[in-house]
Structure 1
Amino acid sequence: MFSVLSITLLIAIAMSILRLVLGPTVSDRVIAFDVIGIMAISLLVILALYFERMLYLDIALVFGLIGFLGTTIFGRFIENGI
């Protein structure tokens, strides 16, 4: 079960990386970057459940906070510059 979820998330991350590289606009790239971050957090949670290590949940929480701040900063930059 965990392997199917992990493989599915890795395929989705690969497709998002493709959108990050080929995205026609900056907005597409920022959204792809945010989606990659969310899927990486999901992968960390799955790994925490599989290995029964709660440290991965703490790392996922910190990664989520940093990803949220990064997306907010990029959105503000796109909207009206720094």
Structure 2
Amino acid sequence: MNILIALSYAMLCLGIIFSFIRLLLGPSLPDRVVALELIASLTVGMIATYAVDTNVGAALDVALVLALTGFLAALAFARYLEKRGEE
């Protein structure tokens, strides 16, 4: 089980690194925002993996709040792009 947890941490970290590169190099604003949303989702996965690894159930509450915040940020950005297109 420890090997799977370590592999999960490694894959999540690799995903965060690649997303961060896309965030820095993204050619457009929507690409950068999608990369930021992916980083938030991968962070939720990292927290959930930590909760399973250490048997700390309170960490799942933190992951849930982060997931909801990321979802609301995505909605706000979509609204912003919609309003910006009308101008």
For this structure pair, what is the TM-score category when the shorter chain's length is used for normalisation?
over 0.9
Matched residue type, 2:80: F
Could you tell me which of 21, 24, 27 is aligned with 1:24? Answer: 27
- 2:41 aligned residue: 38
Gaps of 5+ in 1: none
Counterparts of 1:44 and 1:30, CA distance in 2: 21
TM-score, with structure 2 as normaliser: 0.90
Name the residue aligned to 1:60: 63
Q: Which runs of 4+ in 1 moved over 3 A?
A: none
1:13 to 9, 16, 23: 16
Distance in 2 of aligned mates of 1:75 and 1:42: 23
Report % sequence identity: 32
CA distance in 2, matches of 1:20, 1:33: 7
Q: Which residue of 1 aligns with 2:7?
A: 4
Equivalent AA in structure 1 for residue 48 of structure 2: V
Q: Which runs of 5+ in 2 are unaligned?
A: none
Equivalent residue number for residue 76 of structure 1: 79
Please name the residue that 1:48 is paired with.
Answer: 51
Structure with larger Rg: 2
**3-state SS of the aligned residue for 1:24?**
coil
How many correspondences in the alignment? Answer: 81
* TM-score of the superposed pair, with normalisation by structure 1: 0.95
